[in-house]
Amino acid sequence: MDLSRRAILAAAGAAPAGVAPVAGNRAQAAVRPDDETPNNEAHWAKVAALFDAPPAGVIQLENGQFGAMAKSTRAAFEQHTARVNRETTLYTRGPVNGDLQKVRLRAAALLGLDPDEIAFTRGGTESMLTLIGGYNRLKPGDAVLYADLDYDSMQAGMESLAKVRGVRIVKIDLPEPATKQGLIDAYDAALKANPDIRLMLVTHLSHRTGLIPPVKEIVALAKSRGVDVLLDCGHALGQTPFSLRDMGVEFAGLNLHKWIGAPLGVGLVYIRKDRIPDIDVSILEGPSPRIDARVHTGTVNYAAVLGVADAIDVHEAIGPAAKAARLSYLRDRWAEAVRDVPGVQVLTPADPALHAGITSFRLAGMTTPAQAAALRKTLFERYRIFTVERAGPAKGACVRVTPSFVNTAADVDALAAALRELAKT
């Protein structure tokens, strides 16, 4: 780690004494004090100390709705809030604009994009609906495509295009179990069967199961047929490494209050510079070539946007690659431990390219939303493990597990043990 990363982690204090080595890991006892390998529980205890601990007696494995701010981010957010309230319009009618531009530059650098290709929104949903509702290259008789694992609001937005743009809706079910080639083939088959498709929604990391499709290959496939892709990166940013430019993505919605840990209510929309005219200006704005004119939210929570820079500080201090490796390690530790347990269905494949930290499961025969909700309730009431049920996958509802940086190997081991026991009943 560089000095700034050391300083942030040092602020968390020393790791708890007597942290036990991970079972079966011979290298665990020999790690360096600053070794950020994903199975070094002493290092990740320091990272966990950057955040408030979950309530005692609960194993919190539902960290997907939003990501808690680090203590330092929360303190900075409170300072930003105090300044906005103290100086009011003396600040927001002038000086704040320079400060917001600095945050914009930080966010653009995080993504490897130009600052004039991104605009702040109130979250990934608003970002995606800006793209879906504003995409102006459709004409009556065209078709648009989405999949069963896409987010509910985005599915609704795509469906609305039938009424708003006069297009035909094509919905596909992604394969389960999934493989890289199987996912590519699913989109390829849909495009071949529906040559009138002109727009596709693709989710980078599914909030339902955690599946990561091969985005770069799917985008290339779509482009070869003259189809544009709107990429939903709501869960991807901060959880798995990627480059929008490298993937050939021209339109994307991103979230900053999930895996970056910004204050609630901040997201980003990305439109490649030469494609900005293909998204309509907001009806509340006059003609403009700027991306900001595509989003009109009124008065924003200035403190929340300013807090993005503080969240990026923590994100970079922990290390994007280290974060991704830790989340995958926690996921693998429970999911691969129960994959071959009779009666347990793990819904993301073992292929590390097709998942990050999130993975969902079912118990055999439990496919309805009510059954998934009952299973989630059992996990909490009997084992004090908090998860969430998700409906929508074509093969049935499931329970989603989302570990984060406050979790330990022991937490996910407890989940694996619970699932082995429940599978027997």
Give domain status of residue 14, yes or no.
no
For 43, the token pair is 């290092």
Domain co-membership, 101 together with 220: yes
Domain co-membership, 350 together with 419: yes
- Is a pLDDT exceeding 80 seen at residue 387? yes
Nearest to 266 by CA among 320, 309, 225, 226: 309
- So what's the pLDDT on residue 36? 85
Domain harbouring 256, CATH code:
3.40.640.10
- So what's the pLDDT on residue 209? 98
Within 10 angstroms of residue 369's Cβ, the number of other Cβ atoms is 14
Asked if residues 113 and 119 have their Cβ atoms less than 8 Å apart, the reply is no
For 220, the token pair is 């290339």
- Please state the domain count of the chain: 2
Q: What residues contact 17, with CB distance under 8 A and at least 6 apart?
A: none
Share of the chain above pLDDT 90, in %: 91
| CA atoms lying within 13 Å on the CB side of residue 402 | 25
The range of the structural domain enclosing residue 385 comes to: 50-68+319-424
- What's the CA gap between 296 and 269, in Å, rounded? 12
Domain harbouring 359, CATH code:
3.90.1150.10
- What's the CA gap between 15 and 12, in Å, rounded? 8
**Given pLDDT bands bounded at 50, 70 and 90, which one contains residue 398?**
very high
- So what's the pLDDT on residue 23? 33
Domain co-membership, 88 together with 107: yes
At which of 314, 334, 350 does a domain end?
314
- Is a pLDDT exceeding 80 seen at residue 24? no
Domain co-membership, 258 together with 172: yes
- What's the CA gap between 323 and 241, in Å, rounded? 9
Give domain status of residue 362, yes or no.
yes
Asked if residues 233 and 255 have their Cβ atoms less than 8 Å apart, the reply is yes
Asked if residues 344 and 379 have their Cβ atoms less than 8 Å apart, the reply is no
Domain co-membership, 331 together with 218: no
- Is a pLDDT exceeding 90 seen at residue 225? yes
pLDDT tens column, 297-341: 999 999 999 999 999 999 999 999 999 999 999 999 999 999 999
User: In what order do the strands lie in the sheet containing 267-271?
Assistant: 118-121, 267-271, 251-255, 228-233, 197-203, 143-147, 168-172
- So what's the pLDDT on residue 90? 98
- Is a pLDDT exceeding 60 seen at residue 424? yes
Domain co-membership, 89 together with 219: yes
CA 14 to mean position of chain CA atoms: 30
Answering whether pTM is above 0.85, one says yes
Domain co-membership, 299 together with 344: no
At which of 314, 339, 363 does a domain end?
314
- What's the CA gap between 63 and 412, in Å, rounded? 13
385-386 vs 388-390, strand pairing mode: unpaired
pLDDT tens column, 166-216: 999 999 999 999 999 999 999 999 999 999 999 999 999 999 999 999 999
Paired strand residues for 385: 59
| CA atoms lying within 13 Å on the CB side of residue 232 | 31
Domain co-membership, 119 together with 254: yes
At which of 314, 329, 355 does a domain end?
314
- Is a pLDDT exceeding 60 seen at residue 39? yes
- What's the CA gap between 251 and 272, in Å, rounded? 7
Domain co-membership, 120 together with 239: yes
Asked if residues 176 and 139 have their Cβ atoms less than 8 Å apart, the reply is no
Average pLDDT over residues 230-240: 97
**Given pLDDT bands bounded at 50, 70 and 90, which one contains residue 9?**
low
Average pLDDT score, the chain? 93
pLDDT tens column, 263-297: 999 999 999 999 999 999 999 999 999 999 999 99
